[in-house]
Amino acid sequence: AARWQAGFRARRIQLRAHPDEPLPRLGLAQLWLEAREPARAKKELEILLGPHPEEARAWSLLGECERHLGAHLAARSAWDRALALAPDDLPARFNRGILARLEQRLTDARTDFDWIVQRGEEDALRYLRAHLELARIELALGAGEHAQAVYARYKQLGGEEPLE
């Protein structure tokens, strides 16, 4: 709580000193999301995105807010916008893939997880779950051989969950 309060105070001071800069408001939104207040985080992001619609990190975080609020279509739209601005945004791509899987849009989920597995090697451990998700999707879509290969990489990276 003390760390959160200190961060909150620091961001408010930064916002007063630099009201037109996106980072202080982005930091406030992150703090609100950490505090499980997605509606307050969303409000900060909407204020930020008005003058800074090109801020990919804000769109990505807005997707998280929308997901927490149960607005899946709005979350997908925000992550789409984040990825249009920053195609290498791994968190946005991962979250969009998880949402697609939950909505049973397996080919969309496959596209995002495959992108992460193919291009996210430097973050392979951080996105270990993407390997497992891709393997499970490949299996569900009938690509058993590819599923096994992706799952083997997942296990090699230290994954422990079963494929099925």
Report d(CA 141, CA 94) in Å as an integer. Answer: 19
Q: What are the pLDDT tens digits along the chain (164 aa)?
A: 778 778 878 888 788 888 888 999 999 999 999 999 999 999 999 999 999 999 999 999 999 999 999 999 999 999 999 999 999 999 999 999 999 999 999 999 999 999 999 987 777 778 899 999 999 999 999 999 999 999 999 999 999 999 98
Report d(CA 60, CA 95) in Å as an integer. Answer: 9
Rg (CA), the chain: 18
Q: How many CB atoms lie within 10 A of CB 18?
A: 12
> Is 29:44 a contact under the CB 8 Å cutoff?
yes
Predicted TM-score of the model (pTM): 0.85
Residue whose pair of structure tokens reads 């709580």 in the numeric block:
1
